[in-house]
Amino acid sequence: MNVMSFLKDSVEKFPTKAAIIDEERSLTFNELYQEVLKFSSHLGSVDKNVVSLIAENSISFIISYLGIINSGRTAHLIPPEISQTNMLIQLRSANSGMIVCSSVTKNNLLKYAAIKIPSFEFNEVLSRPIQQTTNLKSNDLAYLLYTSGTTSEPKGVAITHTMTEFTTNNIFQVLGYTSSDVDVLPLPLYHSFGLGCFHTSLRVGSTLVLLKNANNLERILESIKMHHATTLAVIPATLTKLLQFEKDTLADYLSKIRLIITNSTAIPKNTVQKFKEILKNGNLATYYGLTEASRSTFMIFDKTNGREGSVGKPAPNVKIKIVNEHNDSKEGEIWIKGNNVITNYWNNSQADKNLVDGWLRTNDIGYFDDENYLFLIGRNDDIINIGGEKITPYEIEEVVKQIPGIEDVAAFGIEHEIFGQTIKLNIVKSKNSDLDKSTILSYCIKNLEKFKIPTKIDFVESIPKTDYGKVKRFMLK
């Protein structure tokens, strides 16, 4: 199967049911299918197999994405807010033959003379001559993403139809998605998290309510209420922001929600606990995965499971092992194997060294508890070594975030002549906060071991992050 067969199945079962609702219009499954076929047939001759798609969340994005795939090509998804330099790097690396984009993006692109690849707005594609499409094969590449790069420059990750089917089946089976669901999605479709949610809706024939972004909390809540939504997908930062609403108000808006799915960026434990109380008829869930090994674990925070810090158990038919070269503790690097794992990176032999006999070395550190629940500790690169004491930045950040007047914080290692490394904090203060460094240190000394006390604190305007909300620590060091 491939994502087009997901759509075809849903067209057969629910032709007149709403498939996608965005902020401007909606399409039934049959209308979506017809639009995709039309778009696909107009893609015409492209002398290369990769077509780059640069656009915000919209129905046009979905038609273009499926249309590119239906034409037998690979959809290369580029975030519209990407820098021109990085866009050029990606386009060259992907060997893209065509760009499909929104009008806003096209206007920006045309100003950039270095890009010689032909670019078309969505509507312009439909004015191209009709051409026969090719049959899809399961080993074909469905889409190409560049990793968000928390530790280094982005790497190209191409996903086959087989991998997509495997991952989508795991998502809907473990999390119980059905055609009765109405799924609110404010996550970008050009990333693995949002795209996986879209594939799942298409697979089960549920209705997808697509929002442009997750910053408008009121719109998210109103959309949930208006469309009688049953699921919501958001990053942990959005969950924490939602808690600014009155608990009863939030509980009312979320009363029909059976599932909120979030990703494995560290979720504050008290956020998990609060959502356990707020969701009267549903559960918060998370997963652990990388673009190159999507949805490798799942964790449902039901009322009886107290493991708020876990990312859950391995997904069906996914193997995970902890590799500790010194064999001196149960903690080690997380390795993943399964049909959700890529066989190689996109034209990147250096990155391919992370793939060993089908296992992906994630560079993430974690451990399993006695009941096979996986806990993440951090990334190998993020570990701070202070005179032999190894510390993850997350435990520092979790404590510091509790201080009133702090909006955001990133902890990272800085060089120290005696200890090798010590901890530095970059802190974003809340608006009108008069917090000073001494107050922060006083709080730390009361709540952290003495080797975890930061030696430097800077107040900053913002913390550099990926679209998933992961701190780009390599930019801080």
Partner 1 sequence: MILANVLSNESEVKEAIKKIFFEVFPNLSEADFSWNKEQKNYARWDSFAQLNLITFTESKFNITLSLEESINIKSANDLFESVRSHLQ
**To the nearest whole angstrom, how small is the minimum distance from the Cβ of residue 462 to partner 1?**
23
- Contacting residue, 172, 419, 459, 474, with partner 1 by CB under 8 A: 419
**459 binds partner 1 per the rule CB under 8 A:** no
In angstroms, rounded to a whole number, what is the distance separating the alpha carbons of residues 449 and 337?
Answer: 37
The smaller minimum CB distance to partner 1, of residues 134 and 439, is found at 439
Cα dihedral value 33, 38, 39, 41, nearest 10:
120
Placement of tokens 């909606």 in the chain:
26
| Footprint on residues 167-186 left by partner 1 (CB under 8 A) | none
For residue 329, count CB atoms less than 10 angstroms from its CB and return exposed for 0-12, middle for 13-18, buried for 19 or more: exposed
- Contacting residue, 82, 435, 441, 460, with partner 1 by CB under 8 A: 441
Contacting range for partner 1; rule: CB under 8 A; set: 272-280, 320-328, 434-442, 458-466: 434-442
- Contacting residue, 111, 432, 446, 461, with partner 1 by CB under 8 A: 446
Angle at 249 between CA 244 and CA 250, to 5 degrees: 60
Residue 68 · residue 75 · CB < 8 Å? yes
**428 binds partner 1 per the rule CB under 8 A:** no
- Contacting residue, 132, 325, 450, 461, with partner 1 by CB under 8 A: 450
The smaller minimum CB distance to partner 1, of residues 47 and 417, is found at 417
**442 binds partner 1 per the rule CB under 8 A:** yes
Q: How far is CA 471 from CA 91, 149, 378, in A?
A: 25, 10, 12
- Contacting residue, 17, 256, 401, 437, with partner 1 by CB under 8 A: 437
**417 binds partner 1 per the rule CB under 8 A:** yes
**To the nearest whole angstrom, how small is the minimum distance from the Cβ of residue 461 to partner 1?**
21
CA proximity to 240, closest of 409, 456, 67: 409
Binding to partner 1 by CB under 8 A, coded x per residue (else -) over 370-409, reads ----------------xx----------------------
Contacting range for partner 1; rule: CB under 8 A; set: 35-43, 275-283, 372-380, 438-446: 438-446
Contacting range for partner 1; rule: CB under 8 A; set: 41-49, 274-282, 308-316, 447-455: 447-455
**113 binds partner 1 per the rule CB under 8 A:** no
The smaller minimum CB distance to partner 1, of residues 209 and 457, is found at 457
The smaller minimum CB distance to partner 1, of residues 11 and 391, is found at 391
The smaller minimum CB distance to partner 1, of residues 179 and 433, is found at 433
**To the nearest whole angstrom, how small is the minimum distance from the Cβ of residue 281 to partner 1?**
46
Residue 423 · residue 391 · CB < 8 Å? yes
**To the nearest whole angstrom, how small is the minimum distance from the Cβ of residue 444 to partner 1?**
9
The smaller minimum CB distance to partner 1, of residues 172 and 443, is found at 443
Contacting range for partner 1; rule: CB under 8 A; set: 2-10, 79-87, 275-283, 417-425: 417-425
- Contacting residue, 304, 329, 404, 418, with partner 1 by CB under 8 A: 418
**To the nearest whole angstrom, how small is the minimum distance from the Cβ of residue 450 to partner 1?**
4
In angstroms, rounded to a whole number, what is the distance separating the alpha carbons of residues 366 and 364?
Answer: 7
- Contacting residue, 130, 226, 323, 445, with partner 1 by CB under 8 A: 445
**To the nearest whole angstrom, how small is the minimum distance from the Cβ of residue 418 to partner 1?**
7
Contacting range for partner 1; rule: CB under 8 A; set: 17-25, 216-224, 238-246, 445-453: 445-453
The smaller minimum CB distance to partner 1, of residues 245 and 443, is found at 443
Amino acid at 246: E
**434 binds partner 1 per the rule CB under 8 A:** no
**To the nearest whole angstrom, how small is the minimum distance from the Cβ of residue 438 to partner 1?**
5
Size of the site for partner 1 (CB under 8 A): 18
The smaller minimum CB distance to partner 1, of residues 51 and 423, is found at 423
- Contacting residue, 230, 454, 469, 470, with partner 1 by CB under 8 A: 454
Positions in the binding site for partner 1 (CB under 8 A): 386-387, 417-419, 422, 437-438, 441-442, 445-446, 450-451, 453-455, 457
